[in-house]
Structure 1
Amino acid sequence: MINTSAIQCRACGLAVVVASVTAVSVYFLANHLLISGDSPTPADLPSAANVTGSRASPSLQLVTIFSRHGNTGPHVTYDTYPYPANDTGVWPHGPDELTQTGRAQMYNLGVKVRSLYNGFLSPYYKEELRATSTTTDQTLVSAELFLAGLYPPRGYDLWDRRVLWQPIPVFPNYHDHSELTFPVNSQTCLRFHEAQMESLAQFLERYGPDMTAVLRQVQNLSGIDVFGYRLDSGSPALLDSMWMLWENIIHAVNEGLVLPDWLKSVYPEPTRTLVAKMVKAYSFQSDTTIRLNQGLLFQDMVRQMKISTRNSVSSQKRLYYHSGHENTLYGLAGILGLDVDFMPFAETASALLLELHRDILSGQHYVQVLYLDGSSPDLEPLDMDVPGCD
């Protein structure tokens, strides 16, 4: 007789059920794992292939990874910005495209994951892996770079020693609805749009005066019109103006570029805190926006975990990887009930990892959740509490 155990996730009301021939308890343990910025080990060194990963335990059954893309160039820049979006000397790949830093981030994220799971993950067998992405340049390229770091060619896969890369397919994933975050797109889903507009109205009522004060302080030097700038996003003009300021700041900071001195009066604070609250209002303020944003992606992950609990040919997969956006991580964190204060901006090249384990003695299945902060050089894991999953 098959018994089941369910987890009721706070944010969306999704019941996660994993079945086994014995009684199964499913619980989430959370650690916050930080990735290294160290250079990757060359792919053809034997030591890199033979060391067992630190998380490749005998109980591990399946790993699911959701990542945000790497650093990109800004979408658009204000008039006096010292690094215009169309300046190919600074942004050689153009607006919204991965920078050299972003490319290195994603490659190194793949190298880091290899160091965690080497031995559990083979050098590369297509039967073990399914990689997906949203259909944007930045996420598709990020997926390719991540896989290049994770699966350096060895043996018969080394088709040219001058090219330490092997082709790995990345499939489109239409369950990730990060695009709904932009109000102009959210209108295609009325329930999401209504919930989002309600959250944004509450945010503006509470923090509108603070944002206005910040923007007025830099208006003359930036050229950003407090109430007149529009990004054609469907957002209120004040939010567009604030987002414009933040985009210009954070892209420069991520690339290690020097900000104008006059920005020091508003950055990091209060701009950073205001934008963190604004992002929450856009993406995951309510159960409705959380559920409609990434509910399907979460359900698909649960389906794959259920398959992996069965001893069948169809359960051969060991890694599911999805390349997404900051709102991918926000939505999934919201579904799990995680405290999103630990990831207020889901830094570029960050990732959520969910490990499915089977206890060697009891046969019970459980899930561990980890977060990799793409901006941190520290490899020490930080614990996270997942409500209702003790």
Structure 2
Amino acid sequence: MAAPLALLLGISLALAPPLAQARSLRFVTLIGMLQQWDLGQSLRKRYHGFLNASYNKQEIFIRSTDYDRTLMSAEANLAGLYPPQGQQVFNPNISWQPIPVHTVPDSAERLLKFPLSPCPRYEQLQNETRQSAEYINKTRQNLEFLEMVANQTGIRDVSLESVWNVYDTLFCEQTHKLLLPPWVTPDVMTRLKQLKDFGFEFLFGIHQQMEKARLQGGVLLAQIRKNMTSAANASAPQHLKLLAYSAHDTTLVALQMALNVYNGRQAPYASCHIFELYQDDDSNFSVEMFFHNESGREPFPLTLPGCDQRCPLLDFLRLTDPIIPQDWVRECQVASNVQDTELIVALAVCGSILFLLIILLLTVVFRIQSQPPGYRHVSNEGEEQP
């Protein structure tokens, strides 16, 4: 049996700035590069004999979000997956070769960055989630703790939805052996992590998880299903063997929540969710999923609820159908640009016509009122003739 298509999703290790300067800035550190290189080496070992020993541009396609850290992570991963050999060595002092990584501008990203927006229906579901008993109780239980974090960090608004920024910063500083503030005890770090994990569940679960999946992780899953179906239905031998995505922790959570295989904890850096498509002895196809979340260990299997670990492709498609959006724009209740343009034009035309009618009416009234009195014919009917 062979795996004609393996699809991977990875996360980079990023070092956050100090808390006083906390913002969206992230970059891949030396530790993160090494983690991604190790992951590439693990994939090279796992797919030995399936992937070509040297880089072949027809065999792989790499897609990343348009962030420095995810692009750099993909490149570091590929350095471990495809160290140059033979004629690919362009400098004997450099054990690296350039391999294309594709991306789209962040403003056009509709596949790998979650939560996807704009999506009014998703925002409505999030507002409903904030009114759920679970969310309200979690807020009440952690109110004093969140206030303490706000006072210690100087961040004015620390909530269940924003506390992940604090944890990410502290975790990255801890990973790189930096000195943490005195108030950051092991118990504080544990509690911050628990709240970050809850924040992930808030994004994609707790309330109406299946509908959230259709609006979020189901979008990526739809593309994955399309990739596997195309490979299974191809009449000619497939050259493409590996399709990899370099993305974010929220990407993995959205996908795994949609598949209902999320374990409730944040994935470590340089993790990847693997889909493998197999052609069985009877010429039918099946899907296996694995999760690589620890360097030096084999990825562990994931089982789609309702199916075996090796799930027939047709069953995989049937079981995931309910979380695949049929018309994302309609389900999100987002007016298309064309509809918006047509509405604006129609309103402008109607307004112009109304304005002209008002001008015409005022002109007629003005002319009638300004006309001077003149002679009028008086009928002499009935008068006697001389």
TM-score by length of 1: 0.70
Give the corresponding residue for 1:196.
126
* Equivalent AA in structure 2 for residue 63 of structure 1: A
Question: Is 1:213 matched up with 2:144?
Answer: yes
Equivalent residue letter for 2:13? N
Summarize the alignment of residues 190-339 of structure 1 with structure 2, pairs less than 5 Å apart.
Answer: 190-202=120-132, 204-220=135-151, 222-225=152-155, 228-229=156-157, 238-239=159-160, 242-264=163-185, 266-285=187-206, 286-313=209-236, 315-339=238-262
Partner of 1:78: 19
C-alpha spacing 1:251/1:308, structure 2 compared with 1 (3 Å):
same
Q: Does residue 1:389 correspond to 2:307, yes or no?
A: yes
Shift of 1:215: 2.7
* Distance in 1 (alpha carbons) for counterparts of 2:283 and 2:126: 43
One-letter amino acid matched to 1:384 = L
Which one of 344, 348, 352 corresponds to residue 273 of structure 2? 352
List gaps (5 residues or longer) in structure 1. 1-57, 87-93, 230-236
Q: Secondary structure at the match of 2:188?
A: coil
Distance in 2 of aligned mates of 1:190 and 1:215 = 28
Instruction: Confirm whether residue 365 of structure 1 aligns to residue 285 of structure 2.
Output: yes
Change (3 A) 1:303 1:382: closer
How far 1:284 moved relative to its partner?
A: 4.0
1:115 has 2:45 as partner: yes
Higher helix share: 2
Name the counterpart of 2:93: 162
Once residues 288 and 162 of structure 2 are traced to their aligned partners in structure 1, the CA distance between those partners, rounded to angstroms, is: 40
> Residue 379 of structure 1: which of 297, 304, 316 is its match?
297
| Paired residue secondary structure (2:277) | strand
Unaligned runs of 5+ in 2: 309-386
Q: Return the match for 1:178 from 113, 123, 128.
A: 113
Deviation of the 1:313 alpha carbon: 4.1
SS of match in other structure, 1:193: helix
In structure 2, C-alpha distance between the alignment counterparts of 1:272 and 1:175, rounded to whole Å: 28
CA contact (8 A) 1:307 1:314 kept: no
**Going by fraction, where is strand more abundant, 1 or 2?**
1
Matched letter for residue 65 of structure 2: T
Cα 1:339–1:310 change in 2 (3 A) is: same
Partner of 1:32: none
Structure 1 residues 200 and 378 mapped into 2: Cα distance closer, same or farther (>3 Å)? farther
C-alpha distance 240-63 of structure 1, shift in aligned 2 (>3 A): closer
Specify the SS of the correspondent of 2:226.
helix
Aligned residue among 1, 8, 26 for 1:96? 26
For 2:235 and 2:277, locate their aligned partners in 1 and report how far apart those are by CA, in whole Å: 16
Residue 201 and residue 96 in structure 1: after superposition, are their counterparts in 2 closer, same or farther (change >3 A)? farther
Q: How many positions carry a matched residue from both structures?
A: 300
Deviates more, 1:313-322 or 1:364-373: 313-322
C-alpha separation in 2, matches of 1:283 and 1:258: 34
Give distance in 1, aligned partners of 2:189 and 2:153.
Answer: 20
Does the C-alpha gap of structure 1 residues 266 and 200 become closer, same or farther in structure 2, counting only changes over 3 Å?
farther
Displacement of 1:301: 1.6
CA distance in 1, matches of 2:6, 2:164: 35
> Distance in 1 between the 2:272 and 2:51 partners?
18
**Contact 2:4–2:238, Cα closer than 8 Å, also in 1:** no
The answer (yes or no) to whether the contact 1:178–1:293 under 8 Å persists in 2 is no
* Secondary structure class of the residue paired with 1:356: strand
Q: Please report how far the alpha carbon of residue 261 of structure 1 lies from its aligned counterpart in structure 2 after TM superposition.
A: 4.0
* 1:119-154: CA deviation from partner (whole Å, max 9, x where unpaired): 100111111111101111111111111111111111
RMSD (Å), alpha carbons:
2.5
Using the alignment, how far apart are the partners of 2:251 and 2:276 within structure 1?
18
Query: Counterpart of 2:160 in 1: which secondary structure?
Result: helix
Q: Any conservation in 1 of the 2:63–2:246 contact (CA below 8 Å)? A: yes
Q: Deviations over 1:29-69 (max 9, x none)?
A: xxxxxxxxxxxxxxxxxxxxxxxxxxxxx43221111112x
Deviation, structure 1 residue 269 = 2.9
Higher relative contact order (CA 8 A, sep 6+): 1
Contact persistence 1:176–1:328 (CA under 8 A): no
TM-superposed CA distance for 1:290, in Å, is: 2.2
| 1:218 CA drift (Å) | 4.5
- Contact 1:176 1:293 survives alignment (8 Å): no
Hey, what does 2:8 align to over in structure 1?
A: 65
Q: Secondary structure at the match of 2:83?
A: coil
- Check conservation: 2:70, 2:247, Cα contact below 8 A: yes
Tell me what 2:82 maps to: 151
TM-score by length of 2: 0.71
Contact kept in structure 2, 1:215 and 1:224, CA below 8 Å: no
Instruction: Look up the SS of the partner of 1:271 in the other structure.
Output: helix
Change (3 A) 1:284 1:387: same
The sequence identity of aligned pairs, in percent, is: 26
Question: Counterparts of 2:288 and 2:124 in 1: how far apart (Å)?
Answer: 34
Show CA shifts across 1:133-183 (max 9, x none).
1111111111111111111111221111112221211112634252436xx
Question: Compared with structure 1, are the counterparts of its residues 201 and 111 closer, same or farther at alpha carbon in structure 2 (3 Å cutoff)?
Answer: farther
